Amino acid sequence: MASVETAAEHERILREIESTDTNCIGPTLRSVYDGQEHGLFMEKLDVRIRNHDREIEKMCNHHFQGFVDSITELLKVRGEAQKLKSQVIETNNRLQDDGKELIGSMEELKRCRVQQRNIATTIDKLTHCLPVLEMYSRLQEQMKAKRYYPALRTLEQLEQTCLPRAGQYRFCSIMAENIPKLRTQIRDTAMTQLRDFLESIRKHSDKIGETAIKQAQVQRSLDSSISTQPRALIGRRSRKEVSATPGVGTERDVHFGSPVSQQDSGIRDVEDDEEDEEVPGAQDLVDFSPVYRCLHIYTVLGLRDTFENYYRKQRRKQARLVLQPHSNMHETLEGYRRYFNQIVGFFVVEDHVLHTTQGLVNRAYVEELWELALSKIVAALRTHSVRFNTHLDNFSPIPVSTEQQYRHYTSQFPLQDPELEKLPFPKKFPFSEFVPKVYCQIKEFIYACLKYSEDLHLSSTEVDDMIRKSTNLLLTRTLSHCLQYAIKKKNVGLAELVQVIINTTHLEQSCHFLEEFISNITNVPPDTVNATKLYGTSTFKDARHAAEAEIYTNLNAKIDQFLQLADYNWLAAEQRVGTPLTASDYLIDLIAFLNSTFAVFTNLPGKVAQTACMSTCKHISTSLMQLLIDPEIRQISMGALQQLSADVKECESFARAGPVAGFQGDTLLLAFSDLRQLLDLFTQWDWSTYLADYGKPTCRYLRVNPNTALALLEKMKEMSRKNNVFNFRKMDRDKQKLIDTVIKQLRNLIAGLR
């Protein structure tokens, strides 16, 4: 039983070996060797091998003849193959020779096809690029021709259509970068032209207004004959208005290339049109193209609101300038005519812009400006309806030789001066012709205001208030300006300034008479609640103070002119004690001028004359002190200080003489006390007293500043040092040592004060 199983196992193993890949028979063989019957297995294996060998031999015998026949056939085929190979090689060679020309033609064809493709590509790209270049060239031409609105449209088309189609090229990038700059340039240029236009119409508004007024007069004269021959004239004018009045909706509306618009003057030359009898209108006289052009451009840029605000703001400023009357408007009728012409010209332009643009200005804006104009015009007419011609005044007291002349002036001006009444004839009023003329003109103005109010249906209180406010405007604006002009004009003399002060003093005193006059003609008591007070007092006070300041300034300027003539010898030799010294010539002339000047001040209010006199003395003292400490003067001798002391003595004599009444004691001498104490300290060489008593209230040289004294001593030291270079006298050496000692003590004193 075991042998049967073993034989079956061996058979299975053999079948497995025959049917299994040799790489996988390892486990099968291992199972044989692991068993005990491997010898028997080997025998069976040999038997199986011999069986297979017999089958192989049988198969080979069966196919041998076929194999031999195949080999024989193969040998025959080899020869034919050699022939075929030779023929193939020969055919190939002929084909290669014949194909070289074809290959060359094909290569040429290939190159042509590539070129054709490149050309097609290039044409396609150029088709997109050429419009860009053409449009950019057109843009440059438009910019050069100053046709900015078409240029802006070209920019928009270039940016939104042409450049995106052209692709990414360097020149496209450069163009794209330049587009914002060109827009800015167009915007700025348009704004510049608008500014030129605004400036031009501001300058020529009077001409525009004059033309508009003439046109209105012509139209009024034609109204009577409107039924006979109006149509030809109106038709002709209408055609001109249609051709000259631009809108803002089409390209035709803005003529960018016209010579007038290139000049940007804003005003057309209408002399060639004088053959027509009609008066040109605003559209004929003014070239509005800068306004329309700028409006178009800012609209395209999306900045219309900015442009509208700017235009309105600038025109409001110009309106204020136009409505501000000139200072000399009231002097001539032509001044009033020009004032009204400017206002009319301004509103003619605004009305034209209102009707030819869509919203640049609106009716409310024009009405607002008109209300402003009305208030300004009324105020100007009220203020400038009186003329104060200060330049016609001789600035001299009014002489009267008879009682009739005296009563004539007292009837014009309410003078109350009992002392002047008692004086015999001939005598003089203290004021000039300006005072009664101004007083009468103010009364005439008040009468005119009363006459003006008759048709206004106002109550007495309202009339009184209106007259007082108008009179205040007259006093605070017109009269005040005239007085300031008289005070500030060139070459005004001290006598004229003194007369201005006297005049304003009397006018100020007359203000309460004007108050009473207004109350009498309006029947409104002056003490009524909320009644407006006249500002005349403050107006005349301001003018008087300005004249006083001008007097002080002119006096100081005249003193400076005299001081420029000073020619001190700063190296003069020291004079012996007791030797008399006379004052310098320039100072004697200055004192004579001051005496004659202050003699004119007798009619001035006391405080004004005293202030002028004290200011003069202080200015002289300060100027002489500045001469001493001038850094350009490096050396000063004792002789120079002695001469300066003599000049100060002359000034002190002038102060003691009392050129102006009202000073108590030696008050005027105090102006020279600083200079006097400094000069006494040096000329008397009293340094021991100065150094010992410095800082004490009883010090004799209380006003001497140690820094000033030190600076002056340094100059004397420099003078002494140069003089003693080759001087061996003991006295001079001792003097030099003394100066050095005082300088050292002064420096110690100054250091102790810090």
Q: How does residue 113 score in pLDDT terms, banded at 50, 70 and 90?
A: very high
Q: Phi and psi (nearest 5°) for 286?
A: -115, 135
Is residue 325 included in any domain, yes or no? yes
Q: Are residues 171 and 72 in the same domain?
A: no
In the predicted model, what is the mean pLDDT of residues 746-752? 85
Q: Considering the chain, what percentage of its residues have pLDDT values greater than 70?
A: 84
Residue 559's nearest CA partner among 623, 488, 609 is 623
Query: Token pair for residue 334?
Result: 């032509």
pLDDT tops 70 at residue 498: yes
The winner for highest mean pLDDT among 38-52, 57-71, 335-349 is 335-349
In this structure, what CATH number is given to the domain that contains residue 600?
1.20.58.670
Half-sphere exposure in the Cβ direction for 205 (13 Å, CA): 25
> What pLDDT is attached to residue 726?
46
Q: Are residues 375 and 428 in the same domain?
A: no
Q: Are residues 67 and 209 in the same domain?
A: no
Contacts of 162 (CB under 8 A, 6+ apart): 128, 131, 132, 135
Q: What is the pLDDT of residues 131-173, one digit of tens each?
A: 777 877 887 887 888 787 788 788 777 777 777 777 777 777 7
pLDDT tops 60 at residue 614: yes
Is residue 688 included in any domain, yes or no? yes
Q: Which one has a higher pLDDT value, 432 or 721?
A: 432
> What pLDDT is attached to residue 301?
83
How far apart, in whole angstroms, are the C-alpha atoms of residue 685 and residue 233? 102
In the predicted model, what is the mean pLDDT of residues 688-707? 88
Q: Are residues 316 and 361 in the same domain?
A: yes
> What pLDDT is attached to residue 666?
78
Beta bridge partners of 428: 399
Q: How does residue 250 score in pLDDT terms, banded at 50, 70 and 90?
A: very low
Q: Considering the chain, what percentage of its residues have pLDDT values greater than 90?
A: 6
Q: Are residues 634 and 698 in the same domain?
A: yes
Q: Are residues 385 and 502 in the same domain?
A: no
Final residue in a domain of this structure, among 145, 164, 189: 145
How far apart, in whole angstroms, are the C-alpha atoms of residue 218 and residue 107? 91
Final residue in a domain of this structure, among 389, 423, 440: 389
Q: How does residue 126 score in pLDDT terms, banded at 50, 70 and 90?
A: confident
Q: Are residues 690 and 590 in the same domain?
A: yes
Residue 644's nearest CA partner among 689, 587, 711, 576 is 587
Task: Let me know: does 364 contact 416? Beta carbons within 8 Å.
Answer: no
Q: Are residues 215 and 337 in the same domain?
A: yes
Is residue 121 included in any domain, yes or no? yes
Q: How does residue 622 score in pLDDT terms, banded at 50, 70 and 90?
A: very high
Q: What is the pLDDT of residues 594-609, one digit of tens each?
A: 888 888 777 777 688 8
The winner for highest mean pLDDT among 94-103, 111-120, 194-203 is 111-120
Looking at residue 386, the DSSP 8-state letter turns out to be S
Is residue 245 included in any domain, yes or no? no
Q: Which of 14-23, 148-157, 233-242 has the lowest mean pLDDT?
A: 233-242
Q: How does residue 531 score in pLDDT terms, banded at 50, 70 and 90?
A: low
Q: How many domains does the chain have?
A: 4
Is residue 12 included in any domain, yes or no? no
DSSP 156-197: HHIIIIIHHHH-S-HHHHHHHHHHHHHHHHHHHHHHHHHHHH
The winner for highest mean pLDDT among 258-262, 284-288, 600-604, 708-712 is 708-712
Task: Let me know: does 646 contact 575? Beta carbons within 8 Å.
Answer: no
Place of tokens 């003439």: 214
pLDDT tops 70 at residue 231: no
Q: Are residues 186 and 111 in the same domain?
A: no
What's the pTM value of the predicted model, to 2 decimals?
0.49
In the predicted model, what is the mean pLDDT of residues 279-300? 78
Q: Are residues 410 and 497 in the same domain?
A: yes
Task: Give the domain extent around 440.
Answer: 390-550
Is residue 482 included in any domain, yes or no? yes
Task: Let me know: does 627 contact 587? Beta carbons within 8 Å.
Answer: no
Is residue 666 included in any domain, yes or no? yes
Measured CA distances, 688 to 692, 701, 746 (Å): 6, 11, 11
How far apart, in whole angstroms, are the C-alpha atoms of residue 645 and residue 504? 42
Half-sphere exposure in the Cβ direction for 704 (13 Å, CA): 26
Q: Which of 226-240, 511-525, 617-631, 728-742 has the lowest mean pLDDT?
A: 226-240
Q: Are residues 543 and 434 in the same domain?
A: yes
Is residue 716 included in any domain, yes or no? no
pLDDT tops 70 at residue 377: yes
Burial 647-678 (b: 16+ CB within 10 A, else e): bbebbbebbeeebbeebeeeebebbbebbbbb
In this structure, what CATH number is given to the domain that contains residue 467?
1.10.357.30
Q: Phi and psi (nearest 5°) for 52?
A: -65, -40
Place of tokens 């407006």: 532
Q: How does residue 244 score in pLDDT terms, banded at 50, 70 and 90?
A: very low
> What pLDDT is attached to residue 737?
81
Name the average pLDDT for the chain: 79
> What pLDDT is attached to residue 238?
37
Q: Are residues 426 and 575 in the same domain?
A: no
How far apart, in whole angstroms, are the C-alpha atoms of residue 202 and residue 342? 8
Final residue in a domain of this structure, among 550, 580, 604: 550
Q: What is the pLDDT of residues 293-352, one digit of tens each?
A: 888 888 888 888 988 899 889 988 888 888 887 766 766 678 888 888 889 988 888 888
> What pLDDT is attached to residue 114?
92
